[in-house]
């Protein structure tokens, strides 16, 4: 199936399109913007955790990008071995290898939806978004649980298994951790809002 | 129709994005402390936690062979950097590199430190130091505050008159305190004037390789060379140094070297000496290019000065040099311009040991004689070019104007200052603000520790109309001179970067290994909080087992790339201890000449389980 802009039904400025299967050019622009935001989020951190201790007033960081980890990972790993936690490394997270493609795919899909202007596809897209978001939260929680509960039994310091929160503060021994969502996440959240607007704007009255 | 909904959502999205990218959520900057004018002396020297001192003080450690690093104005001792002496606190003298640098010497006498310079100002990159005890020169890197190179200086015996570097660190000159025959050969003291020489060495520095090298030497007359300074700006090609014992006395110097009314300042043009070397005007002796001034003429002149002078200091504008007899009441201001003029006109009073002597009157600009001041030793300068001279005998600092000779202020210090150091006070651009008197006698200043006393450093505030002593700090023997540099000029590293090209380094646990080559055992291990791993693949990764008589080479890398996580490595009973700083790879070599069982442990407290950071060094006895 090939669709060109010419094939779209004509409508006058300010008028609601006659065919309710399609949405307006304004909405289309919103979607294209959303697609740009999603693509840009690939280059920004999505999630992070900052560790503070009396000896580390400057904080240690784990910063998660769609395709890499940044921050003082080696130092955090060196300290975590005292409680028997596994090492954080890029190799340990297969998501870092396919996430960029998923996010890139979503950006392309959003762009196509914007060009096609078809409401049905927009619904589908929003559905993808919601499912993807839930999967993402589940996956992050899964990893946090894995790292916090599968502790080596021979570690010098025995701590109760724990699950660090996805957002917020946690205290463990001399460390206080702050988990937070990164700018990449906020860009995608903004993109999601841009996706919802056409729904509201072109709802049936 | 609710048109505002999409508009509001759009605004919200935009605001969200703007907040994420542009909002500054960090807490507001702490406001600067209130200005200095109303501060008490205690407030002037108090540096609260979280703030840092304004200046670094590098004080020579004298016969401790070390360099002391202090913060100014707090006068807190921050670090002792070993230079010419072993230091078990840092493993200096045990690891392969420092052991090789120190050679067989066990001590040194670090006298006058000097920073590397660019356009006559400190560049904060390197520090040079000289050893009067065993005639060596050292180079310290200021990214790591560690010594990179030490050279032995032949023919020069006790480079007290050093180190001074030229305006762009072209040369560091090392004139000698003691005259000896060239090659330090045996010669009776009856032949002193004929066979002995006061050899000055010109040392160059290769900053790529971080190596010192002797470019050439000058066989000056057998006098004692005391202190020196390089010219600046108009006099940048020149240098001056003081002499004593021009009497060439060979015994009881206290009396016999104090007979002549005048000694000399040696004034030399190092560019000209450099050219003479290029033109082959030198003799090759003991493997060195040696200029003999009586034979290879030019570039060196003598200026008469009040007897037994100590310091000679060039003003920040490079136009004058100031010297004084250390038993005299007066400072003499000499003019470079007048000296150049006299040299041009060959207006000489004669020759001494083949070197032209300028007339005192034709170079001298003025004599400055503050009332009852006695024993002027050394002069520093402030941002206005005003001079501060230490008076050893009358135990005070005298501030005076080199332009007019007027005495501006005086302040007593406790007791007997040798040198003083002002903030960047020997550069083309002094800062003023602070001066530290390096006092030779502490006497009753501090809590008594018995008959042996510390030395004393007193911080003097130069910012007011009157000089004021605002802090006093005891210091180990013995700062002879110091350098004070603005803290932001020094750019240190806190962790050694990974060097993937270093064949001795291993950066992960699984790459550790112990390799045997005949009767040599090479260990490639790591130290981390809180364990040693020498070979990760064996049952006990923290054990090293060798045979009696084996040569053991241990390369140890600290893989804690974290600020201030230094590990030590000691073998109990084997008299060995080294240090590995964060990210650093260090090597120790020795022969396992004692059979038995020897615990290994981390000497530098590193973590909560530091006590557990141990292993065993097992030496199987010969059958």
What's the confidence (pLDDT) of residue B20? 59
Residue A4 has pLDDT above 60, yes or no: no
- Each residue of A155-204: pLDDT tens digit? 999 999 999 999 999 998 889 999 999 999 999 999 999 999 988 887 76
Q: Which helix (H) or strand (E) is B80 found in, with range? A: strand B76-82
The answer to whether A187 contacts B10, with C-beta atoms less than 8 Å apart, is no
Say how many residues make up chain B.
623
What's the confidence (pLDDT) of residue A16? 52
Contacts of A205 in chain B (CB under 8 A): 1
- Each residue of B316-365: pLDDT tens digit? 999 999 998 888 888 999 999 999 999 999 999 999 999 999 999 999 99
What is the domain-level CATH number for residue B427?
Answer: 2.130.10.10
Which stretches of B110-251 are assigned E, i.e. beta strand? 114-118, 121-131, 136-141, 146-152, 164-165, 172-174, 180-181, 196-206, 211-220, 224-230, 238-244
For B12, the closest chain A residue by CA position comes to A190
Name the domain boundary from B423, B456, B489. B489
The whole-number average pLDDT for the span A38-55 is 95
Choose from A78, A184, A189, A203 for mutation: most chain B CBs within 10 A. Answer: A78
Choose from B3, B5, B9, B13 for mutation: most chain A CBs within 10 A. Answer: B13
**Over the range B488-506, which residues count as b (16 or more CB within 10 Å of their CB) and which as e?**
ebbeeeebbeeeeeeebbb
The span from the CA of B437 to the CA of B467, in Å, is 12
The span from the CA of B595 to the CA of B509, in Å, is 28
- Of B240, B244, B294, B242, the residue nearest B270 (C-alpha): B240
Asked whether B216 and B291 are in contact (CB, 8 A), the reply is: yes
Residue A12 has pLDDT above 80, yes or no: no
My answer on whether B461 and B554 are in the same domain is: no
Torsion over CA of B412, B413, B415 and B416, rounded to 10 degrees? -80
- Each residue of B525-547: pLDDT tens digit? 999 999 999 999 999 999 999 99
Name the domain boundary from B458, B489, B520. B489
- Each residue of B455-471: pLDDT tens digit? 999 999 999 999 999 99
Contacts of residues B598-601 at CB distance under 8 Å and 24 or more positions apart, as own/partner, are B598/B571, B598/B572, B598/B573, B598/B574, B599/B571, B599/B572, B599/B573, B600/B532, B600/B542, B600/B544, B600/B569, B600/B570, B600/B571, B600/B572, B601/B568, B601/B570, B601/B572
- Is there a domain that residue B12 lies in? no
Phi-psi region of B528 (alpha: psi -120 to 50; beta: other; left: phi over 0): beta
What's the confidence (pLDDT) of residue A23? 82
Residue B81 has pLDDT above 70, yes or no: yes
My answer on whether B515 and B383 are in the same domain is: no
Asked whether the bond before B163 is cis by omega within 30 degrees of 0, the reply is: yes
Q: Is B42 on the interface with A (CB under 8 A)?
A: no
The span from the CA of B217 to the CA of B202, in Å, is 6
The span from the CA of B349 to the CA of B90, in Å, is 55
Nearest-CB residue to A183 (from B6, B14, B20) = B20
- Is there a domain that residue B82 lies in? yes
- Each residue of B234-249: pLDDT tens digit? 999 999 999 999 999 9
My answer on whether B296 and B175 are in the same domain is: yes
Find residue B459's DSSP bridge partners: B436, B471
The span from the CA of B146 to the CA of B168, in Å, is 22
Nearest-CB residue to B562 (from A75, A200, A205) = A75
My answer on whether B568 and B422 are in the same domain is: no
The phi and psi torsions of B108 (rounded to 5 degrees) equal -150, 170
What is the domain-level CATH number for residue B523?
Answer: 2.60.40.420
- Is there a domain that residue B207 lies in? yes
Number of structural domains (chain B) is 2
Comparing A5-19, B182-196, B574-588, the range with the smallest average pLDDT is A5-19
Instruction: Identify the domain containing residue B133 by its residue range.
Output: 55-489
Residue B23 has pLDDT above 80, yes or no: no
Q: What is the pTM of this model?
A: 0.88
B199: CB partners within 8 A, 6+ apart: B155, B156, B157, B176, B182, B217, B218, B219, B220, B290
My answer on whether B225 and B139 are in the same domain is: yes
My answer on whether B482 and B517 are in the same domain is: no
What's the confidence (pLDDT) of residue A118? 87
- Each residue of B273-316: pLDDT tens digit? 999 999 999 999 999 999 999 999 999 999 999 999 999 999 99
My answer on whether B566 and B481 are in the same domain is: no
B393: CB partners within 8 A, 6+ apart: B327, B374, B375, B416
The whole-number average pLDDT for the span B598-602 is 98
The span from the CA of B418 to the CA of B375, in Å, is 10
Contacts of B20 in chain A (CB under 8 A): 183, 186-187
Residue B34 has pLDDT above 70, yes or no: no
Comparing B6-20, B138-152, B391-405, the range with the smallest average pLDDT is B6-20
DSSP assignment of B495-539, as one string? SPPP-TT-TT---SGGG-EEEEETTEEEEEEEEETTEEES-TTSS
Asked whether the bond before B415 is cis by omega within 30 degrees of 0, the reply is: yes
- Is there a domain that residue B79 lies in? yes
My answer on whether B188 and B154 are in the same domain is: yes
What's the confidence (pLDDT) of residue A2? 45
- Each residue of B406-430: pLDDT tens digit? 999 999 999 999 999 999 999 999 9
Give CA B610 to chain center in angstroms: 34
The whole-number average pLDDT for the span B32-42 is 68
- Of B438, B445, B436, the residue nearest B467 (C-alpha): B436
Local confidence band at B476 (pLDDT 50, 70, 90 cut-offs) = very high
- Is there a domain that residue B150 lies in? yes
Q: Which domains does chain A have, with CATH numbers?
A: 23-201 (1.20.140)
My answer on whether B483 and B524 are in the same domain is: no
User: What separation in angstroms does the CA of B184 have from each of B155, B176, B286?
Assistant: 6, 13, 10
DSSP assignment of B161-197, as one string? T--EE-TTSS-EEE--SB-EEGGG----GGGHHHHEE
Residue given tokens 């003499």 in the structure block? B332
Local confidence band at B30 (pLDDT 50, 70, 90 cut-offs) = very low
What's the confidence (pLDDT) of residue B32? 46
- Each residue of B248-257: pLDDT tens digit? 999 999 999 8
My answer on whether B482 and B531 are in the same domain is: no
- Is there a domain that residue B199 lies in? yes
Asked whether B402 and B386 are in contact (CB, 8 A), the reply is: yes
My answer on whether B435 and B576 are in the same domain is: no
Q: What is the mean pLDDT of chain B?
A: 94
My answer on whether B534 and B393 are in the same domain is: no
Contacts of B531 in chain A (CB under 8 A): none
The answer to whether B6 contacts A78, with C-beta atoms less than 8 Å apart, is no
Question: What stretches of B196-292 show up as alpha helix (H) in DSSP?
Answer: 253-256, 270-278
Name the domain boundary from B430, B457, B489. B489
> How many Cβ contacts (< 8 angstroms) between chains A and B?
48
Q: Is B16 on the interface with A (CB under 8 A)?
A: yes
- Is there a domain that residue B540 lies in? yes
- Each residue of A53-109: pLDDT tens digit? 999 999 999 999 999 999 999 999 999 999 999 999 999 999 999 999 999 999 999
- Is there a domain that residue B38 lies in? no
Backbone CA torsion sign across B42, B43, B49, B50: negative
What's the confidence (pLDDT) of residue B2? 60
Q: Which helix (H) or strand (E) is B469 found in, with range? A: strand B468-475
The whole-number average pLDDT for the span B111-119 is 96
For A182, the closest chain B residue by CA position comes to B20
Find residue A71's DSSP bridge partners: A62
């Amino acid at each position: 199936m090939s669709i060109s802009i010419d094939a779209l039904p004509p409508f006058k400025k300010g008028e609601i399109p006659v065919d309710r299967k399609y949405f307006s050019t304004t909405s289309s622009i919103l979607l294209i913007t959303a697609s740009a935001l999603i693509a840009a989020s690939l280059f920004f951190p999505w999630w992070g955790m900052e560790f503070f201790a009396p000896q580390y007033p400057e904080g240690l960081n784990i910063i998660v990008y769609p395709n890499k980890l940044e921050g003082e990972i080696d130092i955090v790993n060196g300290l975590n071995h005292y409680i028997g936690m596994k090492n954080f490394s890029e190799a340990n997270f297969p998501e870092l290898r396919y996430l960029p493609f998923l996010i890139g795919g979503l950006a392309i899909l959003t762009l196509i939806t914007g060009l096609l202007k078809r409401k049905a596809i927009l619904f589908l897209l929003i559905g993808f978004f919601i499912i993807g978001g839930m999967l993402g939260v589940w996956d992050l929680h899964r990893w946090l649980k894995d790292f916090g509960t599968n502790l080596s039994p021979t570690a010098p310091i025995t701590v109760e298994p724990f699950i660090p929160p996805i957002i917020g503060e946690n205290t463990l021994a001399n460390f206080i951790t702050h988990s937070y969502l990164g700018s990449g996440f906020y860009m995608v959240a903004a993109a999601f809002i841009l996706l919802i607007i056409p729904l509201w704007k072109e709802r049936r009255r | 129709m609710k048109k505002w909904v999409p508009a509001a959502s759009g605004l919200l999205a935009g605001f969200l994005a703007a907040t994420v990218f542009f909002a500054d959520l960090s807490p507001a900057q702490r406001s600067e402390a209130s200005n200095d004018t109303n501060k008490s002396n205690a407030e002037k020297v108090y540096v609260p936690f979280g703030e840092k001192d304004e200046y670094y003080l590098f004080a020579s450690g004298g016969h401790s062979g070390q360099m002391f690093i202090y913060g100014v104005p707090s006068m807190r001792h921050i670090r002792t950097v070993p230079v010419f002496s072993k230091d078990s606190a840092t493993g200096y003298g045990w690891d392969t590199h420092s052991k090789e640098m120190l050679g067989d010497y066990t001590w040194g006498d670090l006298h006058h430190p000097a920073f590397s310079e660019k356009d006559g100002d400190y560049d904060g990159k390197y520090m040079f130091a000289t050893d009067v005890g065993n005639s060596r020169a050292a180079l310290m890197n200021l990214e790591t505050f560690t010594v990179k190179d030490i050279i032995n200086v032949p023919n020069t015996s006790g480079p007290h008159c050093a180190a001074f570097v030229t305006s762009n660190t072209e040369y560091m000159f090392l004139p000698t305190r003691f005259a000896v025959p060239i090659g330090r050969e045996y010669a009776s003291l009856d032949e002193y004037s004929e066979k002995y020489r006061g050899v000055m060495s010109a040392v160059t520095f290769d900053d790529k390789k971080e190596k010192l090298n002797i470019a050439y030497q000058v066989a000056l007359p057998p006098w004692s060379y005391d202190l020196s300074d390089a010219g600046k700006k108009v006099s940048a090609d020149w240098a001056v140094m003081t002499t004593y014992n021009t009497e060439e006395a060979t015994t009881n110097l206290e009396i016999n070297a104090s007979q002549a009314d005048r000694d000399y300042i040696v004034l030399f043009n190092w560019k000209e000496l450099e050219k003479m070397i290029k033109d082959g005007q030198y003799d090759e002796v003991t493997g060195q290019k040696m200029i003999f001034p009586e034979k290879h003429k030019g570039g060196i002149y003598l200026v008469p000065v009040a007897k037994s002078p100590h310091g000679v200091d060039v003003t920040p504008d490079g136009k004058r040099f100031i010297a004084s007899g250390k038993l005299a009441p007066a400072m003499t201001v000499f003019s470079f311009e007048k000296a150049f003029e006299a040299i041009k006109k060959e207006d000489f009073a004669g020759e001494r040991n083949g070197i032209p002597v300028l007339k005192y009157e034709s170079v001298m600009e003025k004599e400055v004689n503050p009332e009852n001041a006695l024993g002027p030793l050394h002069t520093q300068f402030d941002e206005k070019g005003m001079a501060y001279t230490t008076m050893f005998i009358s135990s005070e600092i005298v501030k005076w104007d080199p332009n007019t000779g007027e005495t501006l202020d005086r302040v007593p210090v406790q007791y007997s200052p040798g040198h003083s150091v002002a903030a960047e006070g020997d550069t083309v651009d002094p800062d003023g603000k602070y001066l530290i008197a390096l006092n030779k006698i502490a006497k009753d200043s501090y809590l008594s520790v018995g008959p042996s006393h510390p030395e004393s450093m007193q911080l003097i505030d130069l910012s007011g109309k009157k000089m004021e002593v605002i802090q006093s700090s005891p210091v180990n023997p013995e700062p002879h001179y110091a350098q004070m540099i603005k803290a932001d000029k020094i750019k240190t590293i806190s962790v050694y970067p990974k060097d993937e090209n270093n064949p001795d380094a291993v950066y992960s646990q699984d790459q550790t290994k112990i390799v045997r080559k005949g009767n040599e055992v090479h260990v490639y291990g790591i130290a981390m909080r809180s364990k040693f791993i020498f070979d990760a693949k064996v049952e006990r990764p923290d054990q090293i087992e060798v045979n009696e008589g084996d040569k053991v080479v241990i390369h140890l890398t600290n893989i804690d790339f974290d600020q201030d996580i230094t590990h030590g490595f000691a073998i109990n009973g084997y008299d060995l201890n080294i240090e590995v700083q964060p990210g650093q790879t260090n090597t120790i070599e020795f022969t396992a000449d004692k059979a038995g069982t020897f615990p290994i442990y981390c000497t530098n407290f590193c973590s909560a389980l530091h006590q557990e950071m141990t292993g065993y060094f097992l030496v199987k006895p010969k059958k």
